[in-house]
Amino acid sequence: MTDQLLDTSRLPQLATRSDTIVASVEWLFEPAWRGDRLLARVTDGAARLTDRLGAPVDDEYREAGEVIGPSVAAQQAVLDGVWTAQPFVGDGSAARHWASTLAEEGLAGEVPDPVANETRRAFVVFDLVELDGELLHEVPYQERRRLLSSVVEENVRVRISPAVRLPIDSWLLAWRANGFTHYVAKHMNSRYHPGEVSEDWIEISAAHEHGPSIFGRMFGQRPKRRRFIGDR
């Protein structure tokens, strides 16, 4: 079967969608970026890209490869991120103002999604999967984040996603104002398992107010089951 032949090492790890409220200091929180999920394999300043399903997409995302490669301060690295317009459509942005203008002048039935009118894109990185030939799959997420900040040289087109600690109320207000509908809670001790849907990464609605809570988790405790991408 095709699924059995799939090379999961080329796939990203995904988050579990849940209405859970995470109220534990053992977790970090990031906005859930809308856009095209890519893994960037950078060697000597040149980037090769694969999509969410592990397919090569260098031609389709040539612009992304051109901006990612020079921004990596390492001989070799694999980055997990999203090619997205969201950094350019926040509260007060020109794209958001134009969307409001279209609605006010009757050129749109309602305020359109600013992302649809924004042509600029940036690669927003949120994980480091491999560094100088060494797999980081079993390195805790918090340590991978530290390494990531030393590897990526941020600029307008390549950014590291913020990852914040509790309390996050003010962050949620800002993320909602910038067009984010969800955020992702990631356990500080979580590992990176390509091709799996991890219960240590939880995608939650930014408008969510009610639901079961996670107040803590035993250090080193792993989920009872992980799902592979493509599981039914």
Residue 139, in any domain of the structure: yes
Residue 114, in any domain of the structure: no
Q: Where are the alpha helices (DSSP H) in the chain?
A: 2-5, 62-68, 94-104, 141-151, 169-177
Residue 201 corresponds to which amino acid? W
Domain residues for 154?
Answer: 2-85+121-228
User: How far apart (Å, rounded) are the C-alpha atoms in residues 171 and 166?
Assistant: 10
Q: Is 177 helix (H, G, I), strand (E, B) or coil?
A: helix
Residue 184, in any domain of the structure: yes
pTM: 0.85
Residue 106, in any domain of the structure: no
- pLDDT tier for residue 8 given thresholds of 50, 70 and 90: confident
Q: What tens digit of pLDDT does each residue of 35-44 get?
A: 999 999 999 9
Average pLDDT over residues 200-225: 62
pLDDT at residue 213 in the model: 59
Report the CATH number that the domain containing residue 54 is assigned in CATH.
3.30.470.30
Residue 174, in any domain of the structure: yes
Question: What tokens appear for 226 in the block?
Answer: 């992980």
Q: What tens digit of pLDDT does each residue of 121-154 get?
A: 999 999 999 999 999 999 999 999 999 999 999 9
Q: What tens digit of pLDDT does each residue of 46-104 get?
A: 999 999 999 999 999 999 999 999 999 999 999 999 999 999 887 777 767 766 777 77
Residue 175, in any domain of the structure: yes
Question: What is the number of structural domains in the chain?
Answer: 1
Are residues 203 and 184 in contact, defined by beta-carbon separation less than 8 angstroms? Answer: yes
Contacts of 118 (CB under 8 A, 6+ apart): 85, 88, 89, 95
Residue 97, in any domain of the structure: no
Residue 191, in any domain of the structure: yes
